Structure 1
Amino acid sequence: GSQAVAGTDEVGRGPLAGPVVAAAVILPRDFDVYGVIDSKQLSEKVRDLLVNEIKEKAIAYGVGIVSAERIDEINIYEASREAMKQAVEALAVPADYLLVDAMVVDVPLPQWKLIKGDARSNTIGAASILAKVTRDAIMVAYDKEYPGYDFANNDGYGTKKHLLALKTLGPTPIHRKTFAPVKNLLS
């Protein structure tokens, strides 16, 4: 009987740098855009095309962003939940039910925790795509602010080039200081 079912998902739990980003999306019942699945299974070009359709056709969408500094304060799991809560609270149309990819969001709404939800639910898949495109844009901007780490290409993950830059240039303010090898470098 729910009228406004929001799917929510996060991206960016594993990188050494940058925020964790979540999105919440309420889709209309007749949403039929092909390919709205887990963002990790899609190319950047396809995600960029789909995100525009998602934004255009969604009843509402919201984004939540939790910084690396906050991740270090509360841990990545709690930061992911906080980003999801922000995303749900940012919806212009309030949700009355949540479909969540494998966690519980700290909001007073009924929820269904779906394992591999981004592959099983269009609304969670749409949230995954929106969160990924948003986070990728943030990391491209950080690449300009902190050159040498290759953030535009590695999204903050510990690639060979990123790890070499960490050793030679040291950590930036967007590095997660509680994540190894950043933590190891600082100790």
Structure 2
Amino acid sequence: MDPTTEDTQPDALEVISEFTVFIPPSIHHESLISGASYAHYTPIPPLITTSKDDAPGTECVLGVDEAGRGPVIGPMVYGAFYLPVELHRSLLAETHHFDDSKVLTPAVRARLMKDVCTAGTDLHNACGWAVKSLSARDIGAGMLKNGGSYNLNAQAMDATIEIIRKVIDSGVHVTEVYIDTIGNPGVYQKKLQRIFPTMKITVEKKADSLYPCVSAASVVAKVTRDVSCDVLYQEVMKNTPEASAEEATWGSGYPSDARCVAWLKNQMDSLFGWGNECRFSWGTIKDMIEIKGSAGVKVDWPVEDDEDNACLSDYFLNTNAGSKAASEADQLRLWFGSNVGQEAF
């Protein structure tokens, strides 16, 4: 397993009061519950002129950040946030005080997200945004198939490329891109620069605290993930009404959180494990399933040797006991049988 998949520093999933929570349009209930990944793109805001054949359109800056890379529960959400270059710092940093989502309270994040989504506000008129939500099911499937060739870093890169490309394809004239990264910034930046050669691309660690557009992207991603986890939690616990207070919380969703580990143990089904809310490729999940004495049911799937399987054509061949079937050329010739003499009648 990719060693970067399990974060040891949890970014706590706060429980937000029903009076302060805002449900953004990036919450797609059916996709979340079914375990499907999805993307959400807002309409281009009124203050941004799109590129035409005779004009490039409003020059825009775009930031990208993610929420939920390390948890064993819930989706990983990539957010993109764009607006005119000339408004980048004045609108986001000076007027609305966007910052790294982890240093903002849930109420502040919800308020900022609501302002971005409310028609008529200065944020709504000038800013567009998008999210790519990678479900726990799809993250695990990608990391488990083909020996783990599609690891979390590759999935994150594809999500970043997808949302940038879709924004550009919609006609937005993006000239600058700022991205927060966990991996090697230099390698990440060179690859993106090859894909988007006409844009200035900056990839830095802690970019969410350095560039306001990345801060805004982190808020979009964080609010979407938190509400997504709440939707998943409510769906899962509908079938566990008698759960105790200790059992009825998965805490931050990180494998280093004792509440999360306790919840996983209490909710584990002996045959199916868990539902679409869990990442089956995480070491925490693997250990609970495979450890000796686990409640999990061991299932063996027998694989027959190919050498023991007869070819369909064997049923149409005349072979003598102790002799091998005819050559491949004969197989085709004898497919519909062979000539017989009059003695057969």
In structure 1, what is the Cα distance between the partners aligned to 2:163 and 2:267?
34
Tell me which moved more, 64-73 or 120-129. 64-73
Deviation at 1:165, TM superposition (A): 1.7
**How many equivalent residue pairs?**
184
Equivalent in the alignment of 2:333: none
Equivalent in the alignment of 2:207: 117
Give unpaired runs (5+ residues) of structure 1: none
1:40 matches 2:96 = no
Which of the numbers 150, 155, 161 marks the counterpart of 2:259?
A: 161
Aligned to 1:40, the other structure's residue is in SS state helix
In structure 2, what is the Cα distance between the partners aligned to 1:131 and 1:144?
20
Q: In 1, are the aligned partners of 2:116 and 2:127 still within 8 Å (CA)? A: no
Tell me which moved more, 131-140 or 77-86. 77-86
In structure 2, what is the Cα distance between the partners aligned to 1:177 and 1:144?
20
Task: Render the CA deviation track for 1:132-177: whole Å, top value 9, x for unaligned.
Answer: 00011100000111125635x52x2232222112112213222111
Aligned to 1:164, the other structure's residue is in SS state helix
Equivalent in the alignment of 2:63: 7
In structure 2, what is the Cα distance between the partners aligned to 1:67 and 1:82?
14
Aligned to 1:7, the other structure's residue is in SS state strand
Equivalent in the alignment of 1:100: 179
Aligned to 1:9, the other structure's residue is in SS state strand
TM superposition score normalised by structure 1: 0.86
Alpha carbons of structure 1 residues 138 and 58: separation in structure 2 relative to 1, 3 Å: farther
User: Identity over the aligned pairs, expressed in percent?
Assistant: 26
Equivalent in the alignment of 1:64: 132
Equivalent in the alignment of 1:145: 235
Alpha carbons of structure 1 residues 78 and 58: separation in structure 2 relative to 1, 3 Å: farther
Matched AA of 2:99: I
In structure 1, what is the Cα distance between the partners aligned to 2:61 and 2:223?
22
Please identify the structure whose Cα radius of gyration is greater.
2
Deviation at 1:93, TM superposition (A): 4.7
In structure 2, what is the Cα distance between the partners aligned to 1:150 and 1:79?
28
Alpha carbons of structure 1 residues 93 and 137: separation in structure 2 relative to 1, 3 Å: farther
Q: In 2, are the aligned partners of 1:5 and 1:96 still within 8 Å (CA)? A: yes
Give unpaired runs (5+ residues) of structure 2: 1-57, 118-123, 143-149, 238-246, 269-273, 291-345
- Coordinate RMSD, CA, aligned: 2.3
Which of the numbers 24, 31, 38 marks the counterpart of 2:80?
A: 24
Aligned to 1:181, the other structure's residue is in SS state helix
1:181 matches 2:284 = yes
Q: In 2, are the aligned partners of 1:18 and 1:174 still within 8 Å (CA)? A: yes
TM superposition score normalised by structure 2: 0.49
Question: Which runs of structure 1 show a deviation greater than 6 angstroms over 4 or more consecutive aligned residues?
Answer: none
